[in-house]
Amino acid sequence: MKFKRRQFLFLGSLSTISAGFLGWALSRQNSQNAGILPLETAIAANPNKKDLLLRFVSVADTGTGAKGQYAVAGAMNYYHQQNPYNLVVLAGDNIYNNGEIEKIGAVFERPYKPLLKQGVKFQACLGNHDIRTANGEAQLRYAGFNMNGRRYYTFRRGSVQFFALDTNGNADWKNQLPWLEKELSQSKASWKIVFGHHPIYSSGQYGSNPDFIKTLTPLFKKYNVQAYINGHEHNYERTRAIDGTTYLICGAGAGNRPVGRSLWTEHSTSNLSFMAYEVYADRIELSGIGTNKRVFDQGVIKLKSV
């Protein structure tokens, strides 16, 4: 796949976070293509922010048990020490290469041991590698992934309702799509966040998915889904709001691949990373955090986007 070799750079004004920390800087660029690193800032420790409703993180394409996964897991643990959270959205490809549950200790329990010991709960969905063994049945039943035997499911944390999808090629869309619309239509949550493994909008290796754009995005618009989280692309990408929904790729959880950018891209990078979210009544503040334990991207999702 060919990528555009154009550089986009936006530097927001710097502001003080707290004593001893650098200011936030907003960077909108294709850093790996431009050859210019984005401004980064240390993680600010502010665990008891006023009016904070929920803090969680997301990561995907993690299950290697290799150095990259441990590096991202270490950054996730460091962020937890500074800003405690109790939820991780795990967006698929949880066990490489073939979803073998026998590897669960090496690719999940050991890398995330510090978080698991602190009671952090992982909510997973299945990726394409996960269904290579017995169609992912063992992962569905594995207690640490909290899928409770379901390929698609919903759960709520206060004012936020999450909807996990099976986006694989053999997914049961005949039943899953009506289920999603029913659950979205009945939801009373202020915030609706959908997650699955495969991208809908993407500037990475696989690109955007026309079928998902046709079938899923009308539901997102109709029922005011504010965010869709996915992996599959081994990179980080944050879009602007597209018909009210922000699309977030967090697939650089263990390995990485080059990523370009599109007209709707706010920030993209191939750097190993995860995303952190702070939910308030009227907005979600999100951050891209790298293995150097520094914030390289910051964005805001409004409760209702025009």
Contact in structure between 27 and 45 (CB atoms under 8 Å)? no
Distances (CA, A) of 291 to 70, 72, 126, 227, 258: 9, 5, 24, 24, 17
**Is the pLDDT confidence value at 59 over 50?**
yes
**Is the pLDDT confidence value at 39 over 70?**
no
- Give the pLDDT of residue 46: 77
Sign of CA dihedral 15, 296, 144, 68: negative
- Give the pLDDT of residue 49: 82
- Give the pLDDT of residue 48: 77
How many CB atoms neighbour CB 76 within 10 A? 26
Which positions ≥6 away from 102 have C-beta within 8 Å? none
- Give the pLDDT of residue 20: 32
Taking alpha carbons only, the member of 305, 191, 190, 177 closest to residue 239 is 305
- Give the pLDDT of residue 32: 37
Region 67-86: mean pLDDT is 98
Taking alpha carbons only, the member of 189, 300, 303, 208 closest to residue 262 is 208
Taking alpha carbons only, the member of 280, 279, 278 closest to residue 289 is 278
Q: Tens digits of per-residue pLDDT, 237-272?
A: 999 999 999 999 999 999 999 999 999 999 999 999
Region 121-126: mean pLDDT is 98
**Is the pLDDT confidence value at 2 over 70?**
no
Sign of CA dihedral 35, 36, 41, 42: positive
- Give the pLDDT of residue 40: 85
**Is the pLDDT confidence value at 118 over 90?**
yes
- Give the pLDDT of residue 30: 40
pTM, two decimal places: 0.87
Q: Tens digits of per-residue pLDDT, 268-289?
A: 999 999 999 999 999 999 999 9
Alpha-carbon span 185 to 223, nearest angstrom: 6
Region 66-79: mean pLDDT is 98
CA max distance for the chain: 54
Instruction: Dig out the tokens for 188 from the structure.
Output: 């009373």
Alpha-carbon span 145 to 276, nearest angstrom: 19
Helices (H) and strands (E) in the chain, counts: 8, 14
Rounded mean pLDDT of the chain?
89
Contact in structure between 304 and 230 (CB atoms under 8 Å)? no
Of all residues in the chain, what percent carry a pLDDT higher than 90?
83
Taking alpha carbons only, the member of 117, 94, 114 closest to residue 104 is 94
Region 77-101: mean pLDDT is 98
Locate tokens 């709520």: which residue? 156
Q: Tens digits of per-residue pLDDT, 158-167?
A: 999 999 999 9
Taking alpha carbons only, the member of 246, 236, 235, 252 closest to residue 285 is 246
